[in-house]
Amino acid sequence: MIELRHLTYFRTVAETLHFGRAAALLHISQPPLTRQIAALEKELGAQLFDRSKRAIQLTAAGKYFYRDTTEIFKALERAKRNVASSSTGQSGALKVGFMMSSAYNILPAVTRHYSAAYPEVDMRLSEYVPNLLATDIEDEKIDVGIMYRPEDCRRLDSHTIYAEPLLAVLPRGHRLAHKPEISAAELAEDAFISIPRPIAPVVYDLIQQHCQLHGFRPRIVLETNLQQTIVNLVGEGLGVALVPTSMQAMHLDTTVFKPLIGAPTVEVAVIWNRENTNPCIRTFAQTAVEVWGRMQATSRPA
């Protein structure tokens, strides 16, 4: 059976065209080297070296074999690099889930920077509602997610990227649309549009708690799974809502966004299953935190 050492012996002799010098480079004596080359030729059924002259030469078969072994050693080096890079998250595959509100602020920058820094990682993106994203991360159908930090993280690890204030979104003709900021108490009589609690319990509970802190329970007339749908329905005059600040990026002519006095904040985090050993998770989480830091630095006034 041909072993890698046989190929190394052959290539060293082929490059020096001298058994003595090749043996010295290989740190073996010449007779064993000669026997190994003869055994290789017997295994291949072809003579690799012409020994009939004073200086040995590669035969035609030897030249072809040298060319082909060059490709073998290139493939071996490539395999070694791939193993090293995949173990450190430099290459591989990564399934990323995201909630739509993150697409309005951090997601585009993170994916752009990650793809540039790790071009050999096959990154696949999927949009989710938060509760289903957490479930698929637990089941390892998704490697990592950008989402509201769930209350139950028993099987999950997380790294908070930022805390995002909630603000009020109102129809453009709303009675409070002219005010620079509002109190939630001023919305006590309004109909609310909300995300259902099973879809995003953290956000739902935060809205409920903030309204109760201001003396009322919101009268929810419509529920829908997506924050952008909530904003669109507000623009149609069907109610008001409290949504994450990132939703301002929708820039609808039919709505206005108003800061809330004492606004509560919701944490947006990178989430993954702690039992998932994919090394690309770590590099993605690091990229997300670094990108958010740069975004904040560039947005600060000089």
Q: Are residues 107 and 74 in the same domain?
A: no
What residues make up the domain containing 148?
93-301
Q: Are residues 109 and 210 in the same domain?
A: yes
Q: Are residues 149 and 66 in the same domain?
A: no
Q: Are residues 210 and 294 in the same domain?
A: yes
**Which residue type sits at 82?**
N
Q: Are residues 81 and 97 in the same domain?
A: no
- Is pTM beyond 0.75? Reply is no
Confidence of residue 13 (pLDDT cuts 50, 70, 90): very high
Which domain-ending residue is among 31, 63, 85?
85
Considering its fold, how many domains does the chain have in total? Answer: 2
Mean pLDDT of 277-285: 89
Distances in Å between the alpha carbon of 123 and those of 7, 93, 101, 266? 37, 6, 20, 27
Range in 73-77, 123-127, 163-167, 280-284 the model is least confident about: 73-77
Confidence of residue 228 (pLDDT cuts 50, 70, 90): very high
Q: Are residues 35 and 141 in the same domain?
A: no
Q: Are residues 155 and 23 in the same domain?
A: no
- Return the CATH number at 238: 3.40.190.290
Axis crossing angle, helix 60-87 with helix 4-16, rounded to the nearest 10: 120
Confidence of residue 116 (pLDDT cuts 50, 70, 90): very high
Which domain-ending residue is among 85, 117, 138?
85
Quote the Cα angle for 223-227-228, to 5°. Answer: 115
Name the DSSP class of 187.
G
